[in-house]
Amino acid sequence: MNYKQALQNPIFKIISQASKNLNLDSYVIGGFVRDFILKRGNAKDIDVVAIGSGIALAKEVSKLLSNKPKVQVFKTYGTAMLRYEDIEIEFVGARKESYNEDSRNPVVENGTLEDDQNRRDFTINALALNLSEANFGDLLDPFKGVEDLENKIIRTPLNPDITYSDDPLRMMRAIRFATQLDFKIENQSLKAITRNNKRIKIITNERIVVELNKILESPIPSIGFLLLEETGLLQYILPELTALKGIDEIEGQRHKDNFYHTLEVVDNIAKHTENVWLRWAALLHDIGKAPTKKFSKKVGWTFHGHEFEGSKMVYHLFKRLKMPLNDKMKYVQKLVFMSSRPIVLAQDIVTDSAVRRLLFDAGDYVDDLMTLCEADITTKNPKKFKKYHNNFKIVREKLVEVEEKDSVRNFQPPVSGEEIMETFNLKPSREVGLIKEAIKEAILEGDIPNEHQAAFNLMLEKGKALGLKTE
């Protein structure tokens, strides 16, 4: 392979010239080189290692660029960053690292390129391209990283126990790369993750969530979650999921393994949407089943109220992992809470009233809710699979038809609380709430159209029944 092709962007010649001006060697290292070999498209992040000061090199590169971009300096880490067109370039001096047991933040010393490649997480991320004038484009591959790329292997450059114990986030990164690239984690490395899984406790939740999101955004997220479970990491990160694992049997009655079912649902969702929050909803849609599981001699295994329980658990899970507690969390919470509603509709005769209520309660989330419920069909029985999907098709058609006719998605009752108070000379009170609720129910049931005059007439009728007088 001609590696010079990776360095066609003019920025690399500029970095080469800046390196020459400072009399130091520099190299492009890591993901940019890996993704070029894998033909994964144009990278937007480039890591450059200088045998010397990375900060000085960044400043020299800025001087040589016509627009003199601002150099962001991170003195604590000895790194600097600048933007060139739509690319972020990070500069760091070659270094060697040593760790203490309670932190993934290393003690850093200046080092050689060899030291720098030794500290890399995986062989496929230790590949470097020389930027010096004499050896421009030469590949340095001390750990046979190219061979591992060809064989689709994730392997650490040094002893995996040391690599993972030093920085336990690398265990998550190994699983994330295996998921994104559809690679296998080398056997000794996989065993080392299992041996060191407790070390994940020293990693901040924010860093863990970054990796979880990348796993969820992969084409087949289940690869990652199966590896997280196999290595024992999942119990420390998402115990709500591991609690779903296993099948209980009493008096010959069994239930499905909700853990593996959940992963099927996530993979199904991944085929239809890139929305990571909808993927989170798929991942968490059944977490309420573990705490609500009961056995009854009459009906067998039940999970009554698991959607309500699950929606409460979503909040606690997001809070624990320091995920956003804003509209993203509320979106996931609502989809988990409503995850069975369309399924119930699809099993019965679909009435306009039931569809209106679904539209009203789900609002703008109704399309995503339907996608989630369709992904929830994991039966291996072809007849049932076809029947359920046909039923959902009917529900979707009905949703469009009723919405066009009644406009109840996110609707506000045509008569406001203020109008009710003005009509009957009331202050905010129980009666106002009762009248508003009666109007809403009448529209959802189809007793009156979603129009002001019909709602106003019903308001007068309900007010009279409550003994209220108009002004």
Q: Which residue has the higher pLDDT, 138 or 353?
A: 138
* Percent of the chain residues topping a pLDDT of 70: 91
Confidence band (pLDDT; 50, 70, 90) for 103?
low
Tell me which residue of 105, 117, 44 sits closest to 77, measured CA to CA.
105
Over the stretch 390-423, which tens digit does the pLDDT of each residue have? 888 888 888 888 888 777 776 778 899 999 999 9
Instruction: Name the nearest CA neighbour of 58 among 48, 66, 43, 46.
Output: 48
Please report the pLDDT score of residue 358 as a whole number: 85
Residue 20: pLDDT over 80: yes
Q: Residue 215: name the closest of 283, 297, 129 by CA.
A: 283
Q: Is the pLDDT of residue 294 over 80?
A: no
CA dihedral 37→42→43→47, nearest 10 degrees, is 60
| pLDDT on residue 397 | 85
Q: Which of the residue ranges 102-106, 321-325, 404-408 would you say has the lowest mean pLDDT?
A: 102-106
Q: Name the least confident of 91-100, 273-282, 360-369.
A: 91-100
Evaluate whether 193 touches 171 at the Cβ level (below 8 Å).
yes
What are the DSSP E strand ranges found in 325-440? none
How sure is the predictor about 166, in pLDDT bands with cuts at 50, 70 and 90? confident
Please tell me the distance from the alpha carbon of residue 401 to that of residue 375, in angstroms, as a whole number: 23
pLDDT of residue 179: 98
Give mean pLDDT, residues 65-75.
Answer: 92
Packed helices 306-320 and 276-284: angle between N→C axes, nearest 10 degrees: 120
**Where residue 102 falls among pLDDT bands split at 50, 70, 90?**
low
The whole model's pTM is what? 0.84
Residues 22 and 29: their CA atoms lie apart, in Å, by 20
Q: Is the model more confident about 85 or about 394?
A: 85
Distance, CA of 28 to CA of 363 (rounded, Å): 49
- Mean pLDDT to the nearest integer, 199-226: 97
Mean pLDDT of 189-208: 96
Please report the DSSP string for 213-241 in residue order.
HHHHTSSSTHHHHHHHHHTT-HHHH-HHH
Residue 296 has pLDDT above 60, yes or no: yes
Length of the chain: 471
3-class state of residue 249 by DSSP: strand
Per-residue pLDDT, 98: 54
> What is the average pLDDT value for the chain, to the nearest integer?
89
CA 420/CA 432 separation, integer angstroms: 6
Helix, strand, coil percentages (3-state) for the chain, rounded to 5, are 55, 10, 35
Query: Which amino acid type is present at position 445?
Result: E
The more confidently predicted of residues 406 and 446 is 446
- Mean pLDDT across 248-264: 72
- Do 228 and 174 contact (CB within 8 A), yes or no? no
* The pLDDT of residue 279: 98
State pLDDT tens for residues 125-158: 999 999 999 999 999 999 999 999 999 999 999 9
Nearest CA-CA partner of 104 in 173, 167, 197? 167
For residue 408, the model assigns a pLDDT of 73
Q: What is the DSSP string of 85-154?
A: TTEEEEEEE-EEEE--TT-SPPEEEE--HHHHHHTSSSGGG--EEE-SSTTTT-EE-TT-HHHHHHHTEE
Find tokens 């993979």 and name the residue.
Answer: 267
By CB atoms closer than 10 A (0-12, 13-18, 19+), residue 399 is: buried
- Each residue of 230-241: pLDDT tens digit? 999 999 999 999
pLDDT digits (tens, 9 = 90+) for 28-63: 999 999 999 999 877 789 999 999 999 999 999 999
Phi, psi of 92 (to 5 degrees): -145, 145
Between 95-104, 298-307, 309-318, 400-409, the lowest mean confidence (pLDDT) is in: 95-104
Q: Domains in the chain, start-ordered, CATH in brackets? A: 3-146 (3.30.460.10), 417-465 (no CATH)
- Give the per-residue pLDDT at 213: 98
